[in-house]
Amino acid sequence: MAKKYSWPDRGTTALLGKPQDRIDGIAKATGAAKYTYDVNFDKMLIARVLGSPHAHCKIKSIDFSAAEKIPGVVKCMAMKEPGNEVRWQGDPIAAVAGESEGAVAEGLKAIKVEIEPLDVYVKDADLAAAEAAGRTGKVAKNVQLEREAGDDDDEDKFAEQEIERLLKESAVVVEAHYGIDVITHMCLEPHGATVQWEGDKLNAYLSTQNVSGTAGQFASPLGITTGDVTVICDFIGGGFGSKFQVDNFNVTAAKIAKEVGRPVKLMLDRDIELKTAGCRPSGYIDVRIGADKEGVVTVWDSQHWGTFGATAGGVDQGVIPYVFNPKNRRRRATPIITNASPSRAWRAPNHPQACAMSQTAYDDIAAKLGLNSYDVFLRNLASVSNEKQNVYQAEMEIAAKLIGWKDKWHPHGKGPKKGAVVSGLGMAIHTWGGGGQPSNTNITIHPDGAVEATLGSQDLGTGTRTAIAIITAETFGLPLAGVKVNIGSSKYPPSAASGGSVTIASVSESTRRAAQDALLKIFELASKKLESEPENLEAKDGRIQVKSDTKKSLSWKEACSLLGMMPLEVKGEFKRRDDQGLSSSQVGGVQMAEVEVDRDTGVVRMKKFVLVQDMGLVINPKCAQSQMYGAAIMGIAYALFEQRILDPTTGAFLNAEIADYKLPRLGDVGEIVVEIYQPDDEYNRGVVGLGEPPVISPGAAISNAVCNALGVRVPVLPLTPKRVLEALERARKA
Amino acid sequence: MKDQRPSRAGESGFSRRAFLQGSGAAAAATALAAGSGVAEAADDKTKVLGPGPTAITLKVNGADRQVTVEPRTTLLEALRFKLNLTGAKPVSVDDSSGASMVIIDGKPASANTILAVACVGKKIQTVESLGGSKPDPVVTAFLHNDAMQCGFCTPGFVVAVRAFLDKNPKATEDQIRKGLNSNLCRCGTYANVIQAALEVVKGGSRG
Ligand code: FES
């Protein structure tokens, strides 16, 4: 069958691929956009949860008698039963609903909880201590060697000997330790829901990245059917991977609402949000690498560990060393189980940590050989795991020009000094999938020419509504304002959850399909009037016209009036691997950082950050660039500032407030330059998602820049002033 | 630069957190009478509000609005739950995120670190007043420069930029970078916020 669906040829579009303002931008900027936190109902109660103050304990009893007497407190509900175990600080144990924030705060304070304390373990950076405490999980191992073991050989012993031999034969060996701490998601809109019952039907205004997939998660614990639940999320104030599921506190809100017969808004307080609603696993690595004198890595041997929190897990050993795939490698990974909240997908799961734990080692090879890091990265591209060697090479050239690599690079630690201030350059590369997931779009064309695109998607900040509007309007030859986009309800045709950077590819697929099919129907109607075959017609500038004779035309309205009384409704459906070239997957990406480091204070200052990113066909470069800027800033955050600090003995989360959990502000980010890499072969491969890839490289790129400036590696992210000074001190003593 | 920062919780003698968690309503009302300056002196006796709900009038976006609040109710809670003005957002317990920023008597202030009763007689301007059929140039500059992603921090940022540029109408990029650190954005929109502010300085995005 010939291709049925396609994108317009490059250079022929009116809207697609050209920068467009967000169609919901004014609503967002003026407070008109209603987030879950903003949905209010008459007689609505405010609810909050009580998080466990202890990191590990058994609940003996929960006593609400004092709380219930507080004026304004309407309902208290336990979320744990006597005998239940609490495994991290902040795990919700009860909820209080009341008439005002003050009443609820007082109510929470008055709850008496009796516990039996249990042993607490939180030290994730120390593998030996975790082993001694019996807190490690099953070690995962992955070995790949050029030479294979013989039939009689003990595989482990053979690998050991082979790696020793390869290291010995290497021109240079780096033996090092790197790491990256746990960080949280810190969605500015905390997790939560505003719930309202209509008889036995539940309307759940949920802050979610998964509009189409969460109704059932409410239904089963409440004993109702999925069809009785409507999940609504018109706007979401951040998710970053932490808002896929319906948490138990949201179900509790629905239970309270049912019992009391009033709507309930339950949003987490900031400290509980940080303690329980999502974090990224840590990763620490001991590694030995060997390379030839050109800096090409020939052998990699590593052992890494880290924590998912209260459940076993950590950075997958399969993504180490990151992107690079040297001929000989042995990777071992040990999960550490701690009394901290379980991690959730955090923007590009596994990748930022893997990048920070391994592309730093590649840079240290360059430093040890006295080579330019750019050349070492370039020479190792031959081993990349994703066949994007040429893309990386092209992107490296662009990035190097944008940051002035040639002029500014100097051997590690040998740059010019301004007093105590030294500067340096670093780089890193990354990869990601971003292919489309199943999605359905309904296009409705009304006889008066009004157009609606309807689907169960959500806007995480990607500009989802605008992308859908661009595709629909482009297909029909209409202005952006000629299209209404309906997203954010579970009653709309199901579309993918916003995870894995799939949103734009998914909604683009189903929307373009629906719009092309709908247009064909309009062409069929118009063809009789225009006395031409449907395939000879085109939709352009608000008209349906004959391609070869554009004077023969109907206005869009006239063409739609041929529908008669009933609107036309067409469903576009995309299933995975139903490939017609509208979308694709797999991207590369190169990032370079320029920093200044004050050797006296240890403070790292971002001067310039450059991102070059491929993403196939770009629907709206304005929103795509925003995501790249944002990813760079989020990367600067975890490279320099961001860390979860737990008390080593009690497991208390010590910086669980915005004032204490350090994130960059406007003055901390320096100059950021973004460049979309989109030659024709990128355009022609269709749409690929972008949310995650550009957040991967900043940790390694910035760490490498700091190392280039100082001539000393600061091994663990974030690179706080204390850690910079400690690394300098260690180097002085060595 | 110090005077461009929103008022701090400590300056008015309250910590909302200590306030909500540490004290009952009666104690709160006494603290209020001692510290806020709204309580009127009558016959040498300070008028004590509360402890129960009290009817007050707030002047919000040019209109007098009657609300019944407890003395401990923050301005943010009153705006969001009593007046359904939800542009100002609850992000932090103190003013360290800037998300709840409003303009009180011409000065930027965090609505979550001031009590509603302390705002009687003051002119309160929320982000909603910058919208309407002819949005403020800061709003249109945010749109044109895509200075938003999820958008949860955006209303607070719009107010912060408006207040900052009112004081520094000719601000340079350097001054913008130094002076707009009151607000936090997790999605990382700072690069575009800088461009939006610069566009307004240059006289762009009018009307
Ligand atoms: S746009 Fe999401 S927090 Fe700023």
Residue B24 reports pLDDT greater than 90: no
Query: Does any ligand 1 atom lie closer than 6 A to the CB of residue B150?
Result: yes
CA dist B187 and A647 (Å) reads 28
CA dist A612 and A394 (Å) reads 10
CA dist B30 and B48 (Å) reads 7
**Average pLDDT of span A312-335:** 95
Q: Which of A31, A626, A668 sits opposite B86 (nearest CB)?
A: A31
Token digits of residue A534: 């449907």
Identify whether the C-beta of residue A26 lies closer than 8 Å to the C-beta of residue A32.
yes
* Residue A572 alpha carbon to ligand 1 centre in Å: 31
Identify whether the C-beta of residue A638 lies closer than 8 Å to the C-beta of residue A356.
no
* Residue A146 alpha carbon to ligand 1 centre in Å: 48
| Lookup result for tokens 């629906």 | A514
* Residue B119 alpha carbon to ligand 1 centre in Å: 28
Q: Which residues pair with A613 in a beta bridge?
A: A676
| A321 preceded by a cis bond (ω within 30 of 0) | yes
CA dist A205 and A226 (Å) reads 15
Residue B93 reports pLDDT greater than 60: yes
* Residue A526 alpha carbon to ligand 1 centre in Å: 45
Closest ligand 1 atom to residue B157 Cα is 4
Predicted confidence band of residue A578 (pLDDT cuts 50, 70, 90): confident
Closest ligand 1 atom to residue B188 Cα is 4
The residue length of chain B stands at: 207
Q: Which of B151, B185, B193 sits opposite A33 (nearest CB)?
A: B151
Residue B39 reports pLDDT greater than 60: no
Residue A590 reports pLDDT greater than 50: yes
Identify whether the C-beta of residue A183 lies closer than 8 Å to the C-beta of residue A280.
yes
Q: Which of B21, B73, B131 sits opposite A26 (nearest CB)?
A: B131
A422/B contact by beta carbon, under 8 A: no
Cβ contact, residue pair A189, B89, below 8 Å: yes
Q: Which residues of B touch A234 (CB under 8 A)?
A: none
**Average pLDDT of span B9-29:** 39
- Residue B90: what pLDDT? 97
Closest listed residue to residue A22, CA positions, set A453, A445, A457, A459: A459
Phi, psi torsion values for A75, nearest 5 degrees: -150, 135
CA dist A240 and A343 (Å) reads 12
| Exposed e or buried b per residue across A217-233, where buried means at least 16 C-beta atoms within 10 angstroms of its C-beta | bbbeebebeeebbbbbb
Residue B45 reports pLDDT greater than 60: no
Closest ligand 1 atom to residue A188 Cα is 3
Å from A667 to nearest chain B CA?
Answer: 5
- Residue B25: what pLDDT? 40
- Residue B28: what pLDDT? 42
**Average pLDDT of span A185-206:** 98
Q: Which residues of A touch B146 (CB under 8 A)?
A: 21-22, 25, 463, 622-623, 625-626
Q: Which SS3 state, helix, strand or coil, does residue A208 take?
A: coil
98-137 in chain B: CB under 8 A from chain A: 99, 126-128, 130-131, 135
Contact pairs from chain A to chain B, CB under 8 Å? 201
Closest residue of chain A to B134, computed from CA coordinates: A26
Identify whether the C-beta of residue A402 lies closer than 8 Å to the C-beta of residue A612.
yes
Predicted confidence band of residue A295 (pLDDT cuts 50, 70, 90): very high
CA dist A619 and A412 (Å) reads 41
Token digits of residue A672: 């950021």
CA dist A465 and A453 (Å) reads 9
Question: What's the DSSP call for residue A223?
Answer: T
B66/A contact by beta carbon, under 8 A: no
To test the contact with chain A by mutation, choose from B23, B125, B146 the residue with the greatest count of A C-beta atoms within 10 A, namely: B146
- Cα-based distances in Å from A688 to A322, A504, A506, A684, A692: 21, 7, 9, 11, 11
- Residue B51: what pLDDT? 74
- What is the sign, positive or negative, of the torsion defined by CA atoms of A523, A529, A530, A532? positive
**Average pLDDT of span B128-137:** 96
CA dist B79 and B94 (Å) reads 17
* Residue A279 alpha carbon to ligand 1 centre in Å: 18
Token digits of residue A75: 């309902």
Q: Which SS3 state, helix, strand or coil, does residue A537 take?
A: strand
Query: Does any ligand 1 atom lie closer than 6 A to the CB of residue B187?
Result: yes
Residue A639 reports pLDDT greater than 90: yes
- List, for residues A74-100, the tens digit of each pLDDT value: 999 999 999 999 999 999 999 999 999
Q: Which of B28, B127, B190 sits opposite A31 (nearest CB)?
A: B127
Intra-chain end-to-end CA distance of chain B, in Å? 29
Q: Which SS3 state, helix, strand or coil, does residue A609 take?
A: strand
* Residue A37 alpha carbon to ligand 1 centre in Å: 15
pTM of the model as a whole:
0.94
B80/A contact by beta carbon, under 8 A: yes
Phi, psi torsion values for A617, nearest 5 degrees: -80, 125
Closest listed residue to residue A671, CA positions, set A727, A615, A596: A596
CA B173 to centroid of chain Cα atoms: 24
Predicted confidence band of residue A165 (pLDDT cuts 50, 70, 90): very high
Residue B17 reports pLDDT greater than 80: no
CA dist A100 and B72 (Å) reads 10
Give CB contacts under 8 A, 24+ apart, made by B35-40. Answer: B36/B12, B36/B115, B36/B117, B36/B118, B37/B118, B38/B117, B38/B118, B38/B119, B38/B120, B38/B121
Residue B12 reports pLDDT greater than 50: no
Closest listed residue to residue A295, CA positions, set A415, A385, A412: A412
Residue A703 reports pLDDT greater than 70: yes
* Residue A268 alpha carbon to ligand 1 centre in Å: 18
| Lookup result for tokens 């336990």 | A78
Could you report the predicted ipTM of this complex, rounded to two decimals? 0.96
- List, for residues A417-476, the tens digit of each pLDDT value: 999 999 999 999 999 998 989 999 999 999 999 999 999 999 999 999 999 999 999 999
Q: Which residues of B touch A24 (CB under 8 A)?
A: 151
What's the mean pLDDT when you consider all of chain B? 83
Phi, psi torsion values for A459, nearest 5 degrees: -110, 100
Closest residue of chain A to B147, computed from CA coordinates: A626
A611/B contact by beta carbon, under 8 A: no
613-652 in chain A: CB under 8 A from chain B: 622-623, 625-627, 629-634, 637
Query: Does any ligand 1 atom lie closer than 6 A to the CB of residue A461?
Result: yes
- Residue A151: what pLDDT? 86
CA dist A283 and A274 (Å) reads 19
Spatial strand order of the sheet with A172-180 comes to: A140-144, A328-337, A297-309, A283-291, A172-180, A716-717
Residue B80 reports pLDDT greater than 60: yes
CA B62 to centroid of chain Cα atoms: 15
- What is the sign, positive or negative, of the torsion defined by CA atoms of A430, A435, A441, A447? positive
- Residue B16: what pLDDT? 41
User: Helix and strand tally (H, E) in chain B?
Assistant: 7, 7
Instruction: Read off the amino acid at residue B153.
Output: C
- Percent of chain B predicted with pLDDT > 70: 75
Q: Which SS3 state, helix, strand or coil, does residue A203 take?
A: strand
Virtual torsion, Cα B161, B163, B165, B169, nearest 10 deg: 170
Q: Which residues of B touch A666 (CB under 8 A)?
A: 176-177, 180-181, 183, 190, 193-194
Q: Which residues of A touch B94 (CB under 8 A)?
A: 657-659
CA A411 to centroid of chain Cα atoms: 34
**Average pLDDT of span A245-265:** 98
Give, for ligand 1, the residue of B91, B150, B190 to mutate: max count of ligand atoms closer than 8 Å to Cβ: B150
- Percent of chain A predicted with pLDDT > 70: 99
Residue A562 reports pLDDT greater than 60: yes
- Cα-based distances in Å from A604 to A283, A418, A421, A669: 22, 14, 9, 11
Cβ contact, residue pair B139, A40, below 8 Å: no
State the alpha helices, DSSP H only, in A213-305. Answer: 215-222, 248-260, 270-276
- Cα-based distances in Å from A291 to A21, A294, A411, B141: 49, 8, 18, 52
Residue A391 reports pLDDT greater than 80: yes
CA dist A460 and A208 (Å) reads 9
Query: Does any ligand 1 atom lie closer than 6 A to the CB of residue B47?
Result: no
Question: What's the DSSP call for residue A55?
Answer: S
Cβ contact, residue pair A270, B21, below 8 Å: no
Residue B11 reports pLDDT greater than 50: no
B187/A contact by beta carbon, under 8 A: yes
Predicted confidence band of residue B144 (pLDDT cuts 50, 70, 90): very high
- Residue B205: what pLDDT? 56
CA A495 to centroid of chain Cα atoms: 18
